[in-house]
């Protein structure tokens, strides 16, 4: 089949739940036995897998008409070198879009929903059937592009990590981690379960969950409204980030006055680890892709030095 252009398209896919079960139990039959032995419905795993695999085949066939297609599994994205003119397409859930976007540097990203009956897809405005019209428009630069502000953490070790939705800094396990926190002219020592820094894109995710829990506690204690203000969700291209301290513990050696605030280009958030071990930093819920955050490590969090670009 003759393709219309020589443009390169990177199709990013992921493993299904069934793929992960087979990797664990070696065969589909053994995976079925395990799931059904526990009384669960194995047919849903099969339906999800079959639907997704069909979407991959259809997507690859359509894309091959318009350019050179390279399929890339999500696990290899962190080490993949994207070309400056590559067009990247993420076929999966919202999390796949966020996970891919932070590794791009100016390339356009298209989020495609492979299973609209299953996934709501806030970051997946397109279906597979839209690609025949969409791809030529993207190549011709006739589509709108949404700019995404990302978070960035820079360590005094020279290491750097980006976050599209959020960054987490704290203990690896569900224990208290110790660190010094600096914002503006304020600073104090903390003992908490970690700090979450959210972007505008992530403000409807982990940040919303933290706020809902906090407001619910306040409401149950003094009867105030437990509703979250609408303006707590901020724009995807906002010029600031928002940080939240989880479960701060006030004591003789730690305080809990700095618990929530903004991070801007001129007002970074600085954390200095006081944890001898098990301190980590990860982004967008991917705990396997982390930086060590142990004693003496200084983390400076600010607006990223690059932006993401989503086709809309």
Element (H, E) at 134: helix 131-139
Residue 134 tokens read as 């969409």
Q: Which two tokens stand for residue 71?
A: 């399929």
Whether pLDDT at 160 is above 80: yes
DSSP3 helix / strand / coil % (the chain, rounded to 5): 30, 35, 40
Average pLDDT, the chain: 93
Q: CA–CA separation, 82 vs 88, rounded Å?
A: 9
- Decide if 3 contacts 68 (C-beta within 8 A): yes
Tokens encoding 19: 């793929």
- Domains 8-143 and 150-305 are alike in CATH topology: no
Listed by start position, the domains of the chain span 8-143, 150-305
Q: What angle do CA 279, 281, 285 make, to 5 degrees?
A: 125
Mean of pLDDT values over 52-59: 98
Express as a percent the part of the chain with pLDDT over 70.
96
Statement: the pTM of the whole predicted model exceeds 0.85: yes
152 Cβ contact partners less than 8 Å away, ≥ 6 residues apart: 160, 161, 162, 163, 301, 302, 303, 304, 305
Q: What pLDDT band is residue 218 in, cutting at 50, 70 and 90?
A: confident
* Whether residue 241 has pLDDT greater than 90: yes
- 137: CB partners within 8 A, 6+ apart: 143
Q: Is the CATH number 3.40.50 carried by domain 8-143?
A: yes
150 touches 162 (CB < 8 A): yes
Q: Is the pLDDT of residue 223 over 70?
A: no
Average pLDDT over residues 65-80: 95
Could you tell me the CA-to-CA distances from 20 to 31, 100, 135, 287, 288 in Å, in that order? 10, 20, 31, 17, 16
pLDDT on residue 231: 52
Alpha carbons 86 and 130: distance in angstroms, whole number: 20
- Residue 250, pLDDT score: 94
Identify the CATH class of 150-305: mainly beta
- What is the predicted pLDDT for the residue at 122? 87
pLDDT tens digits, 180-191: 999 999 999 999
Query: Does the pLDDT value for residue 270 go beyond 90?
Result: yes
Contact between 281 and 163 (Cβ < 8 Å): no
> Stretch 72-84: mean pLDDT, rounded?
95
- 243 φ/ψ angles, rounded to the nearest 5 degrees: -110, 150
pLDDT of residue 257 exceeding 90, the answer is: yes
CA atoms within 13 A on the CB side of 108: 20
pLDDT score recorded for residue 112: 98
* Beta-carbon count within 10 A of 263 CB: 22
pLDDT for the residue numbered 129: 96
Task: Pick the range with the lowest mean pLDDT from 11-15, 49-53, 221-225, 285-289.
Answer: 221-225
Burial category of 223 from C-beta neighbours within 10 Å (exposed 0-12, middle 13-18, buried 19 and up): exposed
pLDDT above 90 (res 229): no
- How far is residue 168 CA from its own chain's centroid? 11
The sign of the dihedral angle between the CA atoms of 200, 201, 206, 209 is positive
């Amino acid at each position: 089949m003759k393709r219309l252009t020589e443009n390169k398209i990177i199709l990013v896919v992921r493993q299904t739940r069934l793929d992960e079960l087979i990797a664990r139990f070696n065969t589909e039959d053994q995976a079925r036995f395990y799931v059904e032995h526990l009384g669960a419905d194995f047919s849903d795993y099969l339906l999800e897998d079959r639907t997704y695999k069909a979407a991959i085949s259809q997507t690859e066939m359509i894309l091959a008409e318009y350019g050179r297609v390279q399929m890339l599994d999500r696990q290899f994205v962190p080490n993949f070198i994207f070309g400056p003119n590559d067009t990247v397409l993420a076929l999966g859930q919202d999390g796949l879009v966020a996970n891919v976007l932070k590794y791009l540097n100016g390339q356009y990203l298209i989020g495609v929903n492979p299973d609209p009956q299953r996934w709501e897809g806030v970051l997946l405005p397109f279906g597979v059937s839209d690609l025949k019209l969409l791809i030529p428009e993207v190549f011709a630069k006739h589509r709108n592009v949404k700019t995404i502000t990302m978070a960035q953490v820079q360590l005094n070790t020279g290491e750097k990590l980006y976050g599209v939705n959020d960054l987490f800094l704290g203990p690896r396990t569900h224990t208290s981690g110790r660190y010094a926190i600096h914002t503006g002219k304020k600073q104090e020592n903390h003992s908490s379960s970690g700090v979450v820094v959210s972007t505008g894109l992530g403000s409807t995710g982990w940040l919303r969950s933290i706020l809902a829990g906090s407001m619910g506690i306040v409401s149950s204690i003094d009867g105030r409204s437990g509703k979250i203000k609408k303006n707590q969700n901020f724009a995807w291209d906002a010029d600031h980030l928002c940080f939240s301290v989880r479960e701060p513990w006030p004591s003789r050696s730690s305080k809990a006055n700095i618990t929530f605030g903004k991070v801007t280009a001129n007002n970074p958030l600085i954390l200095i680890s006081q944890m001898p071990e098990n301190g980590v930093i990860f982004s967008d819920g991917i705990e396997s892709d982390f930086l060590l955050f142990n004693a003496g490590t200084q983390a400076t969090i600010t607006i990223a030095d690059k932006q993401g670009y989503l086709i809309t």
